[in-house]
Each structure stands twice: as C-alpha cells, then as structure tokens.
Structure 1
C-alpha cells in the first residue's frame, strides 16, 4: 500500500466525512446482516489429534456408553449426621432423566457417610452445543436435594464450562478508563472521544466478522473475548496515533482536510505495518497444534483488521467533523505563537539516557531480568476446578472431594487396552507393577467393555491433578503398561496437552521471531534494528512470564485478584501471551522507530534522530500503553482464572515495554550503536523489496491539497547510512 493511496483514502474521507461515515455504517450493516444470515455459533474443539490419551478417549467413546464423553460429579454433603438413602435415590433418578445422560453411577459414600459422590456420564462430548456452558439441567436436578437441607456441589467437564461465564463487563470498564486517560493526556474531550468511537465501530465490525468465521470453522467461545481485548487495545492505539498526528499537522497551520489526509498517509502507514506485525504473530498460533489456538488467532486477526479499517476511514472523517475543536482551546489560541524552544520532557529524558547509555542499559536489564527470573520455575497445567475461585460450585466440589475421599479423587486416570492387541495376563501383571508405584493408591480390577473389545482399568492416584508429582506418577504408569495399552482419562489428557504445548512453544517462538525480524528488516532497511527489537520484545514477554509465575504460582499478591491459593500457570497461557504480546510490542517498536528513521533520513544525525523521534512519539506511546494496560487489567476482573492470567500478564508486559524498553533500552542502545543502527549489507539491500514506512512531513509523495502549495523538497535526496 503506497503512501499516495493512504493519502487519497484519508483525503477522501476527510473531504466528504458524511459520505465516509455513512459508507462505513452501510458496510457495517451489510456485515451484520451477513453474520446474521450466514454466521454460526461458537463451538469448542478440544480434540488433540495424535496424543495417546485422545486415542484412548476415542476407544472409550466407541465401545463404552457414557465413557470418554462429557461427565459431571455431583457431591452431596450433610453438615450434621449422615445422608438419607432416599435423598440419594431421588437425586439419581432426576440425574438419569436429563437429556444426553447415558449413565449415572451408584453413590460412593465417605467413611462417615456424610458425603456422597455420583458421576454422570453423557453420550456426547463436552464441546456439544447442547451441554457446553449449560448446567441448567444439573441445577434443576440438584435443587430438590438442596431444598431438603443438604449441601450439593458439582464439578467435572460440564459444570466447569458453565461455572465461570464471561461477564462481559471488562470491555465497558476498559473503554471508560481509556476515555479518562485520553482526556487527561490531551485536555480535549473531542480528541479523547474520537479514538473511542472509532474503536467501538471496529469492535462491532470485528464481532460480526468473528460470527461469520464461526459459520466456517469451529471458534472457541473464549476467542471473541480475547479478540475484543486485543482489538480494543490496538484499535484505540491506532486511532490515537492518527489523531495525534492530525493535531500536529493542525498546529502547523494545515487545513483540517489536509491535516487528516497527511495523518493517514504518515501515521496511518505506521498503523498498517504495526497491524501486519500483529497478524504475523497471531498466525504463529496455528503452530501450537490445537484447533482452539487456531480459532484464537483467526478471531483476533479479524478484530485487528476491523480496527485498522475503522482507523483509516472513520478517524479522518471524524477529524474533519471535529475541525479545530479537536485541539484544546488553550492550544488553539497559541497555535501560531507556540514556543518550540523548550524541548519536550521525553526529548530531555532521551538526551540524559543517551549521555549515560551503558548505565541505563545495565539498570534496565537488571530490572527486566529480575522480573523474568521466576519464569525459570514456571509449572504449567490446564486450568481445572481446583484453580478456580472458591465462589464457584466447581471449586467447592473439588475441595469437598479432596477432604472426604483424598486429593486423587479429583483425578481421572484409566488404562484402556484393546482385547485383540493386549494379552489379559500381560495386562494383569502390568497392573500389579503399577500398584507399586509411589503415588498410586488403588488399581481397580480389570473390567470388559459391553462388546468385549476393551479391557478397562481405573486407577486412583494420591495427588491432585494439578500437583507437581502427578506428572511423575503418570509417566511411571506409562512406562509399565504393555504395548498397545493406552493411559487415558481427563488427567492423562491434560498431561498430554501440557507436555505438547511446552514443546510447541519453542516452535511458535521461532516462527514468530523469525518472521518479525524479516518483516522489520524490509521495513527499516536495517539488520541491527530488527534483531535488537526482537531481543527486547522477548525480554518483555519473559518478564510477563516471570510476573505471572510469581503471582499465580508463588502467590505473591494473589488475593488482590480474588484468588485464594497458589496454582499452576494455565498451560494455555504461555503460547497465547507470547503470540499476542510479541505483536503488540512490535506495534510500539514500529511507532517509535518509524519517527526515528524519518529524522535519521532527513538529518543523518543518529543521536539527534533518537531524541527527536522519542520527543514526537513519547506522549502518544505512553498514552497508548496506559490505555492498553487499563484495558488488559479490566479483563483481569473476570472470574475465570485464564482471563485473570492473560489480563495481568499482558498488562505488565505492555507497561514494561512502554517504560523500560521504549524509554530506556531503545534510546540507550541506539545512542551506543549510532549509525550502525541502520547498517544493511549492500547485497541484502539489493535483494529486499523497498517498502517505506512513515514518509517525512514534507514528502513529495504526499500531493498538495487544492489551495495549498506543494512543499519544496529535493525529491532525489537520499542518505545512505555508513
């Protein structure tokens, strides 16, 4: 996309704002109508093809009614005395009458008979739309038992999908905080409200696009929330970048139409390439090997593209409608006589950092490495009922089971052996060996499936599923079962997922970093800048990992987030946080370096260009980061533990990226390297396509608007870095 094209888009939208806004609204209406007609509902897909536990689950689904599919545990507890038999029999009957229920086990009583547990097996997977996130049938079945004075809690795959629904208040909180931050930063309600209005328009378009996506592929129910979180942040950032550049051009005396057109041609160009880096990072999620991650990547990409489209069309139109009122009144009076002798605070800061770059780099690295250090001890496990808030019935059921029957009761471990492939005597001998493994508390007798195709052996372990020792116990069982037998059950399935994601994390990191370095090399015509940017972004992500580990796994300040005990980091978090954060960090890198390179090409002064670039972008980046931190922290207020981890981790990383990285490490390292920042081998320069970033304000590629003279420039002037 050439600068002249972006200029024309911005100029057309600003010259005819009503047409532009009505056209965008019409396109939005068509998109909403299409999503209503052809869109689909969200549908989770938790199958993990290629893992042993998934193969075991498929065998159970095929040969054993109610096994391998969705399940629920109903825990009944009497505060005084024992549980009446009539209460259990009535409850069992009501559970059996529910839709899709294949089996209801007999009640298992605790030693003192004050607690009983029944397990409900369904004939469909937990991802089936009729039961996922829907515990109404279970609630109706247990209500009479609760009314009789007994305490009834439930966990298992069905209740856990319904226990902590996304409340949706995070977007409202994030938008409100963003508005307050921008009013404070810019001193103009109009300037603050314009990016918010644009982001809301983009949010609506993105939501419609995700609904259309759900009509084509399975989209995780959580994906729209993550897409909204990221889309809202980048949407406000992109709009803020263009609005700030528009105000800058207004202060220089350009007409509102010309200022808007130039803002889209310059800042809009940065937004285009910033969005490209985000999209590259999101595509790395496909390498994680889980359909859920692919849906996260596609949904978030749609949200980012929708926000970019709104930025390029809605922002210039609203800028024209706002006229000069977008500039604070006090600044309007002083537009012509503005004193530019005093350097902005960010420029003075960059100068100080540049005078002592080694000290600045060392201090910043010490802080970042210290924050990242806990990540070395990170332990991951898919979030289960034991990780959730004690306000939820799933957590209360988990605690009751652990207290009355032992921690391993919450684990689901079973050996599945096809009778045609595994000798019964060999399996029996293996189970005798399994019973001797430390951490295995019981091995049930071998039973056959109804069609005699499978031998099945339930195993009870002595640890909570998320306990660090559980993985060793499962590995011990795998080592002892005969060839052809499979370790299955929910706990083994979670363990397989956790191990697979740990391996795939490095593949995702390698792809995203390599692709981003190539893209930045093309954009900035430099080898040093992209490598340095990638290293700093990795440092920000590592610091986020460290903070997540310290807070959630070690329990530092955990109560502030409404969580009452330390837990393992969710296995879903590391890859998701990396892919999103690396792209967002590159956003700020593109914003800052584009202005630094612009000044470098104009002046050839490496140190001065750093100071000038930071001065021009400091307030925008700081404000944008503050907004994104507010948005992400608002998502940490959700009940679901995964959203808390994502919100906190990304908020911390963005804060560090906008402060220690952009305000200390970038100016310090660029001052140290000087002209070497822009070194590019001649042979590589010939190979790479030429794609410019922001053009200079007086670039001849931006045509003059009617009534404005073309700026005097030397069109062939080009500086070749040494």
Structure 2
C-alpha cells in the first residue's frame, strides 16, 4: 500500500491543479445533487418487539387519531382564573389546524389559574415540520395572548423544534486555527489542514443529505458527523503535513517529500480512519434505526475527510511549495525536528520506574471512572431546557397546576378483539389502585370500536427515577393480554433498557474487530491487546466524568443547564463507538513510530522514548485541536451533542496525557521484546503491512523476531 500511496502523493504534488479541480468538481457535484435530490432528516425511533412499540402499532392501525404527535397548550392567568369561554374559542381554532385529529380541553388545574388544551395530531411528530407547526399553534391561540394570558407550549411538537446551531463549529475552527498557527508559525501551514478538512467535510455532509433521500437519517446525525469529522479531518491533515515538513527540511524536493509523507503518515491515516469506521459500524448491532443512521452518517464524513487527506492535501502541498515552512526554516541547511527532548526524558524516566507510575495512573483513572457505577441513563425531557424556553415554562406550569405526571401521561392501548369491552371498567379500577398513579381517565373507543385508549396520569414526572418502575408495575399487575402502554415514559423505559442490553454486544464486536485490524497492522498480539485495554480505561473514565458533571451537577450550570440531569440514553453507545475509533487514531500514530524505531534499531526499550519523542509535539497539537473542537460542541443546545462534546473532550485529553505519557511507556517498558510477539502460526498466515511506509528492512540490531521481509521464515517459535 505504501508504494501506491507514494505514487498517488507524488503525482498529486506534481500535477496539483488536476486534483484540486477534481475535488472542486466532486464537492460541487455532490452539493448540487444534494440540493436537488437530497432528502430531509427524519428520526426513526422504532423499537421493534417492545411493549411501547406494540401499543403504538395498535393505535396506528386501529385508532390513528390517538397514535400521532401531541402538543400541549398551557394557559396561565396572571390574575384571577382562566375564562372557559375564551379557552373554548381557542380550542375551536386549534381543531381547524392541518393534521389535527382531536383537541381536548382539560378541566382547570388545582387553583383554576392554569388550564391545559391537548392537541392530538394524526401523524407522528417526525412527519411534521416542527417550526411551522409551532407557528400555527401560536396563531390559533393568539386570542388568549391578546386577552393577557400567558400561553406556553409543550409536548412532542414544540420539543422537536431545534434551536439554531453553528456556534460550536465556528468555535472549533477558530480554536484549531490558533493552535495550528502556534504549532507551525506559518499561516499557510496552519490553513492547509483546515482547508483540506473542510473540503472533506463538505463532501461528507452533502452525502448525508443524499443518504436521507433513501433512508431515514436522524436529525442529530449531521451535527455528530461534523463534530467527529472536523476533529479527525484536521488531525489527519496535520500528521501528514508534519511529515512533509520534515521531508522538506531533510532536503527532498516538494513532490518527493509529499509522496513520502503520504506513503508514511498517509498510510497511518488510512489505518486510523479504518479503525474509526470499524468502530462506527458496530452501531449496526444496536438494531435501532436512529443509531444505525448516526453511524452511517458519521462514517461517511470520516471517510470523506480521510480521502481528502491522502489525495487533496498532497496537491495543495505541491501548490504551497516551501511556504509551509517558516521563513527562517527555508534557509539552506535549516532543519526541522519534531523530536521533543522533554518527552524523551520523561518517557525514559517512566521506563526506569514503571510500576509506581503504572499504579498511580491506574488508581487515578479508576477513581475518575468510579462515578459511572452509579450512572443513570434516561433521555432528556423539557425539564432540562433553559427556564426561558416555552417548553420549560409549559412544563413548570403543568407541574404546578396538575402535578408532575401531567408532563408524561401514559396511554394504555387495548385491543378489543382480545379484551372484552366489558372488562374496561375493571381495567380502569386496577390502574387507579396501582401505586404511583394519580388519575385515570374514562376509556376512549376507536370509531370502529376495535380498540380503546385509557389515559393514565402518573404521580411522577417523566424524568423521575420512579417513572420506569411505575411502567413495570402497570405491566405486571394491571394489564391483561392484549393491552400495552404507549406514551413518552413507556417509550423511554423500553429505549433505555434496549440500549443497556445491546451495549455489551457492540463493545465486544468493536473491540474484537479493532484488535484484529491492529494485529494485522503491527503483527503483534500484545500491542493491540494493550491498546484496547487502555482505550476501554479512558472511555470508562470519560463515562465517570460525564456522570459527575451532568448527573451530579458539578458542571451542569456552566454548560447552560438549569439543574443536574441524567446521562442521555443515547450517549453510551454513541460515545463508545466514536471514542474507541478516535482513541485508536493516536495509538496507531504512536505505535507506528515506535515500531519504526524498533525495526530500525532492534532496541525494544529505547524505541519507546524515541517514538514518543518523535510524535510528542504533533500528537499534543492534534489532541489540543480535538479537545477544542469537542468542547465547542459542549455549547450546542442539544443535550445529546452537549454530553458527547464533553465526554469526547475528556477522553481525548486523558488519552493524550495519562495514557500516552505514562501508561504506554510504563507497560511497554515492562513488556520489552514481548510488545512485538506474534506466534509463528499467525506470522505465517497474516499478510504483511507496513503502517509507517518504510522500506521494510529491519535495522542492523533487529532481532529475529522483528518483522520485515523474510520475517515469516526468521521469526522464532514463541507460541
């Protein structure tokens, strides 16, 4: 592969305009096609086989008026009580809105100063345009606002309105530019990684829009894809650019240096990107459509940025010439060294005292991970929104006027072909006797009388820890065969449990496939095993920090949240897949350089400080860029993206410091030659890869176990 990449990189540097124009055409064509034939984003929260899904399917088939989205119009009198006549006039206006199937004014609240109108739609919330639909609700209730009442909106439709974004992306790009400028001291060198990453990002995001024309793509998928793609895209270009600058300083001309950079660092980029894609593919095992599309969308952007790094970057390097160097470095005989003496001395120190340092960092990482043992995962609701938002004000008014459970009613769907209609009164009595139930409404029958719905108001809000227990009690003690529970709380209960059950298969598949890939790349058993263990450790620590920041509330207010919140159910799977792939990036780059030194010198211990010193500055810069990008997304209004940003930033920071600077040199010093051990049977059947693109010849001091040409014949039996 290194020869192919060398030729590709050199050809791009020799004929740069061909590649640049080709990329401009590709990005323009994909963007144009997306604008003409692209689809719209659509969440698919189908939870096949769960009780809430069975209830929803029954209602969609037999009682569509109760199966769609809902909106709650909450009316509050600032003085006196709500005028029922004005409330009735507003209800009549709401009934005339498109897609509305039913409008139900509720009895006044506890003190008469708050009233509720429930608007039921005949289609799912994902089939409605949230912004325009909310505007229609505001227009229909304008008479109430004109009369001096406070009118707020809750329910699925208003909660589905996405706040405008874009700030997070700008923060990430500006921070990356500043870090690159400080690292390279050249505006050209700082701008190239950004330009190349943005080109790949443009093609990838347009590809997501095209993908949405053929399948449902989650509404948060583009934001997640941009967050990950921007981080890895800049890092990939940074690693290649750093190697190219070294080549120029060594005396190679621009095309030769670019070709060598693509053959070496570019090949590491391909393997690192492949690891990220493998990790994202693990989301397929969740079998939840919204997660699968998040994985596909993010993988599409990562693949595009990886492709731009190995094809577009050498072309712009050819155009930039020697301007990627500082002015003083362009002088004849100037040298550029990425070697960090401080990192080398530190790694040598850790290597001489591995056990104390290994023990201290393990204790620290486990302490950071400890809060995750008490993590509670639950999707966010409107109580987590800022107090200035209409959905939060509606939530608070409903809780004050009707009780917390009014914000999360349960819909008991009854199949009257399996349950006698005469059994409905008894069902209502059992539901009313169930601990945690505040009120039970009279059953509503479908037009053909083949289904019924009983609305149950819990005593608890949808985010209360008792809410899923109430769902379990109702299912176990009150429901006959042929009845199931729908509604927000029931769906949240099933979603959280489904994600918890499928987390371990995803973890197992991602770790196993990454282990196999790294074993192929490094021809070692222990190196990829150690890398997987360290990645799991850093991910566990990130989970612990997330729990402390959000669930314990240690940093919730700083991130714009009104109070502590559970960790979103979406986070565990998403964060694991993304983090495992991103963390493996640094492992590939670091171990590639360590292995290069090992093959050159045959010194198992000395190659570790040398590899760390050679990659110290560039990996530190890359990690700083990723942390800055991810922290920028911590300001996103979406709680899922906010928690993802914090978790990814923490994990990358730990990976670039404690893992890279302590755990790696300590464990590799303890393992010595065993770092590169590969049983002879495996050595005979595994294909040869050279992740750093060298000539493959082991150094004069390399022992027989070093894998290079002829390694299959020379490797000693160590199995």
Name the TM-score, length of structure 2 as normaliser: 0.95
User: How many aligned positions are there?
Assistant: 706
Distance across 1 between alignment mates of 2:586 and 2:336: 28
| Counterpart check, 1:416 vs 2:416 | no
Counterpart for residue 608 of structure 2 = 610
Superposition deviation, residue 196 in structure 1: 0.6
Equivalent residue for 1:665?
663
CA contact (8 A) 1:100 1:124 kept: yes
Structure-1 residue corresponding to 2:11: 12
How far does residue 688 in structure 1 lie from its aligned partner after superposition? 2.1
Structure 1 residue aligned with 2:446: 449
2:113 alignment partner in structure 1 = 114
Post-superposition shift, 1:27?
2.1
Which residue in the other structure is 1:99 paired with?
98
Which of 247, 250, 256 is the equivalent residue of 1:258?
256
Question: CA separation in 1, counterparts of 2:689 and 2:253?
Answer: 28
**Are positions 1:677 and 2:679 aligned together?**
no
| Structure 2 CA distance for partners of 1:396 and 1:343, relative to 1, 3 Å | closer
Which residues in structure 2 correspond to 1:63-102 (within 5 Å)?
63-102=62-101
- Aligned CA distance change for structure 1 residues 337 and 235 (closer, same or farther; 3 Å): closer
Give the superposition deviation at 1:542.
Answer: 0.9
Q: Equivalent residue for 1:581?
A: 579
8 A contact 1:220–1:296 mirrored in 2? yes
Partner of 2:138: 139
Task: Tell me what 2:382 maps to.
Answer: 385
**1:338, 1:628 → 2: CA distance?**
24
**2:156 counterpart residue number:** 157
2:219 to 199, 218, 221: 221
Q: After the TM superposition, which of the residue ranges 35-44 and 290-299 deviates more from structure 2?
A: 35-44
Distance in 2 of aligned mates of 1:27 and 1:442:
59
Instruction: Determine the C-alpha separation between the residues in 1 that align with 2:565 and 2:669.
Output: 43
On the 8 A contact 1:411/1:460 being kept in 2, the answer is yes
1:259, CA displacement in angstroms? 0.8
Partner of residue 363, structure 2: 366
Counterpart CA distance in 1 for 2:206 and 2:52 is: 36
Evaluate the alpha carbon distance shift between residue 119 and residue 695 of structure 1 in structure 2; reply closer, same or farther with a 3 A threshold. Answer: same
Distance 1:285 1:3 in 2: 31
Supply the distance in 1 between the matched residues of 2:708 and 2:650 (Cα, whole angstroms). Answer: 44
Asked if 1 retains the 8 angstrom alpha-carbon contact of 2:246 and 2:337, the reply is no
Could you tell me which runs of 5 or more consecutive residues in structure 2 were left unpaired when the two chains were aligned: 699-706
> Partner residue of 1:311?
309
1:503 alignment partner in structure 2: 501
**Alpha-carbon deviation of 1:717?**
7.5
Query: What's the counterpart of residue 633 of structure 1?
Result: 631
In 1: Cα distance, 2:133 partner to 2:567 partner: 26
- 1:191 to 1:428, Cα distance in 2 relative to 1, 3 A: same
CA contact (8 A) 1:88 1:107 kept: no
Q: CA deviation at 1:136?
A: 2.0
Partners of 1:618 and 1:69 lie apart in 2 by: 55
- The aligned counterpart of 2:459 is 462
Cα deviations by residue, 1:165-190 (Å, 9 ceiling, x for unpaired):
24122111111110001111222221
Q: Distance in 1 between matches of 2:674 and 2:684?
A: 19
**Where do 1:527-566 residues align within 5 Å?**
527-566=525-564
Query: Is the contact made by 1:219 and 1:296 (CA closer than 8 Å) also made in structure 2?
Result: yes
Does the 8 Å contact 1:416/1:488 carry over to 2?
yes
Q: Does the CA-based 8 Å contact 1:350-1:663 persist in structure 2? A: yes
Shift of 1:338: 7.0
Q: Distance in 1 between matches of 2:176 and 2:14?
A: 28
The farther-off stretch of 614-623 and 387-396 is: 387-396
Aligned to 1:30: 29
Look up the SS of the partner of 2:693 in the other structure.
Answer: coil
- Cα distance in 2 for partners of 1:232, 1:649 equals 16
Cα pair distance change 1:603/1:646, threshold 3 Å: same
**Cα deviation 1:639-693 (Å, max 9, x = unaligned):** 2212211111111111111111111111111111111111111112223222221
Q: What secondary structure does 1:87 align onto?
A: helix
Quick one: distance in 2 between partners of 1:494 and 1:62? 22
> In 2, distance between residues paired with 1:487 and 1:343?
62
RMSD: 2.1
Query: How far did 1:599 drift?
Result: 1.1
Change (3 A) 1:335 1:374: farther
399-408 or 129-138, which deviates more: 129-138
Looking at structure 2, the residues matched to 414 and 336 of structure 1 have their Cα atoms a distance apart, in angstroms, of: 74
Q: 1:577 to 1:343 in 2, by over 3 A?
A: closer
CA deviation string 1:211-241 (max 9, x = no partner): 1111111111211111111000010010000
SS in 1 for 2:275: helix
| Residue in 2 that maps onto 1:621 | 619
Kept after mapping to 2: 8 A contact 1:134/1:161: no
Give the drift of 1:467: 0.7
TM-superposed deviation, 1:132: 7.4
CA distance 1:204–1:66, change in 2 (3 Å):
same
Shift of 1:127: 0.8
CA shift, 1:425, in A, is 5.5
Q: Do the aligned partners of 1:43 and 1:129 also contact (CA within 8 Å) in 2?
A: no
Alpha-carbon displacement from aligned partner over 1:403-438 (angstroms, at most 9, x marks no partner) = 111111111212222112124565544543443332
Counterparts in 2 of 1:398 and 1:256: CA distance versus 1, 3 Å = same
Aligned in 2, Cα 1:443/1:145: closer, same or farther, shift over 3 Å?
closer
Change (3 A) 1:303 1:465: same
Aligned to 2:643: 645
SS at match of 1:435: helix
2: CA distance, partners of 1:716 / 1:426: 79
The secondary structure found in structure 1 opposite 2:79 is: coil
Alpha carbons of 1:679 and 1:505: their partners in 2 closer, same or farther (altered >3 Å)? same
TM-superposition CA deviations, 1:313-335 (whole Å, max 9, x none): 22111212222221122333484
Please give the per-residue CA displacement for 1:301-322, whole angstroms capped at 9, x wherever unaligned.
Answer: 1101110111112211121222
Distance of 1:272 and 1:134 partners within structure 2: 45
Relative to the length of structure 1, the TM-score reads 0.94
Q: Deviations over 1:1-45 (max 9, x none)?
A: x11110011001111112221122122222223323332222222
Partner in structure 2 of residue 395 of structure 1: 392
The aligned residue for residue 703 of structure 2 is: none
Q: Aligned residue for 2:198?
A: 200
Are the aligned partners of 2:386 and 2:560 in contact in 1 as well (CA < 8 Å)?
A: yes
Indicate how the Cα distance of structure 1 residues 219 and 137 shifts in structure 2: closer, same or farther if over 3 A, else same.
same
Work out whether residues 592 and 617 of structure 1, in 8 Å CA contact, stay in contact via their aligned partners in 2.
Answer: yes
Structure 2 vs 1, CA of residues 479 and 133 (structure 1 numbering), >3 Å: closer, same or farther? farther
Tell me which residue corresponds to 1:707. Answer: none
Q: SS in structure 1 opposite 2:313?
A: helix
Seen in structure 2, the aligned counterparts of structure 1 residues 646 and 142 have a Cα distance that, compared at 3 Å, is farther
For 1:144 and 1:634, how far apart are their aligned partners in 2?
A: 41
- Three-state SS of the structure 2 residue aligned to 1:606 is coil
Say which SS state the counterpart of residue 117 (structure 1) adopts: strand
Alpha-carbon distance between aligned partners in 2 of 1:206 and 1:609, rounded to the nearest angstrom: 38
Report if the CA contact (8 A) 1:48-1:290 is conserved.
yes
How far the C-alpha of 1:450 sits from its partner, in A, is: 2.3
